[in-house]
Amino acid sequence: MNWAEIEKLDSWVEVNPYDVPLDKFNMSRPELYEANVHEAWFERLRKEDPVHFCAESKVGSFWSITRFEDIKTVDTNHKIFSSDGAIAIGLINDDFNPPNFIAMDQPKHDVQRKVVTPTASPSNLSKLESVIRDKAALILDGLPIGETFDWVDKVSIEMTTYMLAILFDFPMEDRRKLTHWSDVTTAVEAVGNFTITAEEREQELMECLAYFQKLWHERSGNTEGFDFVTMLANHPDTKDMIDDPMTFLGTLMLLIVGGNDTTRNSMSGGVLALNEFPEQYDLLRKNFDLIPNMVSEIIRWQTPLPHMRRTALENFELNGKLIKKGDQVIMWYTSGNRDATSIDNPNEFIIDRPKARQHLSFGFGIHRCMGNRVAELQLKIMWEEIMKRFSSVEVVGEVKRLPSNFVLGITEMPVRLHAL
Ligand code: HEM
């Protein structure tokens, strides 16, 4: 196909990336992620134009940073690459985008992050381990053996939503509201997956705010709990946040999405990876001690958040290209995690990979994922409990994915369980 033909196409799913002139590359296209073909495009960029400028797209102009080390340079250089206002591609001021600390720079960022960090700390989590394990056991024991069912709905969503409800001390019977608000938060036009109107989205999120305002008032003045809401409502640095409803809502949206989509998709992605690499599944069956290392490899392999965006505050030269003040800079973690100059055999899923934790999926620097230990613990427990029960979780049908450049999401994955 030549460029004139490609230019007329609505979808680039069938397009060979080597048929597209480099200056026409546009990695914001959601269909590339839905069809899981994005890596071939990134492979070419990493080789031929690792710091790439897309001059024109629906989400404006933007730089694509595709190599591991360059991504680290941007992510750790927060004085030049700002998170202020937006951390996803193309978000603009017109979007309903309440402020939160992932989209703030220092010093405000540090103050707010510090308040909620203890909830997700290893010492707090160790107290939760038995609760998580009991829930994992309950979910897995309720699954049918030998029948086809959707792993995403019955396991990944159920488990992560439950965990999130614990972290918020959220009423268990309403926990699927958290899943819903998470989906609504990420449903914006720029990143794809745009199933509701902007007005509907805003309205749904205002309902989320109202629900949490009630919880805040119940918990304000009561410091016994160790959940996110109690921490925010009683800490001197955030106790007045209730008077700034948009910042409260923004913070909720961050904590809900942070803990939900990401871990959910790692739970599904791990099952899929073991099916695609059956010799690794055999290795796991022989040695359950590999589970913690495998969890890191799953998180690299899936890269649940394929990108984070920054805005350049000053001109900056990166790998021979001049990024100009005001430019949108996209760190493609999904590409950096497949960069053979930093990771050996990056296209192989290797559960005993040395230094498996050295991946980009949690980011680097001051915004490094606050919930990384929560996610790892949940996945570790999940896999320990799966391996005690089933010889195989077999993927038996078509896997469906999210049309989004911001969440590498698996929306449906039919599986069949085999007993030990
Ligand atoms: C496999 C699961 C997860 C992945 C891949 C993931 C990924 C990320 C990434 C890429 C960032 C931004 C890093 C940067 O800009 O340098 C981030 C930030 C964050 N994550 Fe996660 N996350 C996961 C799980 C969680 C969980 C379970 C929670 C909460 C319970 C959480 C809460 C947050 C928060 C609050 C931030 C903002 C940190 C800040 O700005 O200082 N994440 N995460």
Number of structural domains found in the chain:
1
| Contacts for 392 with CB less than 8 Å, ≥ 6 apart | 281, 417, 418
Give the residue whose CA is nearest to atom 20 of ligand 1. Answer: 369
- Ligand 1 centroid from CA 114, angstroms: 14
User: Which residues have CB under 8 Å from 283's CB, separation 6+?
Assistant: 290, 351, 352
What would you measure as the largest C-alpha separation in the chain, in angstroms? Answer: 66
> Half-sphere exposure (CA, 13 Å, Cβ side) for 133?
11
Query: What is the Å distance from ligand 1's center to 217 Cα?
Result: 27
351 near 283, Cβ under 8 Å? yes
pLDDT at 117: 85
Helix, strand, coil % over all residues of the chain, rounded to 5: 55, 10, 35
The dihedrals phi and psi of 402, each to the nearest 5 degrees, come to -85, 135
CB 54 within 8 A of CB 62: yes
CB neighbours of residue 31 within 10 Å: 15
340 CA to centre of ligand 1 in angstroms: 25
Please tell me the residue having the least CA distance from ligand 1 atom 11.
369
pLDDT of residue 261: 84
Classify 244 in phi/psi space as left (phi over 0), alpha (psi -120 to 50) or beta: beta
Q: Give me the percent of the chain exceeding a pLDDT of 90.
A: 79
Residue 248 confidence (pLDDT): 92
Confidence bin at 225 (pLDDT 50/70/90): confident
Kindly report, residue by residue over 42-59, the tens digit of the pLDDT: 999 999 999 999 999 989
In whole angstroms, give the CA distance from residue 374 to residue 228. 13
Taking only the tens place, the pLDDT of each residue in 143-193 is 999 999 999 999 999 999 988 899 899 999 999 999 899 888 877 766 666
pLDDT for the residue numbered 191:
64
Q: Which domain holds residue 249?
A: 3-419
The mean pLDDT of the chain is 93
Write out the two tokens for 415: 């599986």
CATH of residue 370's domain is: 1.10.630.10
Calculate how far, in angstroms, residue 72's C-alpha sits from the geometric centre of ligand 1.
16
pTM confidence score: 0.94
Amino acid (1-letter code) at residue 233? A
Output the ligand 1 site: residues, CB below 6 A.
Answer: 75, 101-102, 113, 120, 167, 254-255, 258-259, 262-263, 266, 299, 304-305, 308, 361-365, 367-371, 374-375
pLDDT (0 to 100) of residue 100? 87
| In the predicted structure, residue 126 carries a pLDDT above the cut 60 | yes
pLDDT at position 94 over 60: no
pLDDT of residue 123: 80
Nearest to 252 by CA among 315, 321, 192, 205: 205
pLDDT for 258? 86
The atom number, within ligand 1, closest to the CA of 304 reads 5
Q: How many helices (H) and strands (E) does the chain have?
A: 16, 12
Distance (angstroms) between ligand 1 centre and the Cα of 369 equals: 3
Q: Is the pLDDT at 107 greater than 90, yes or no? A: yes
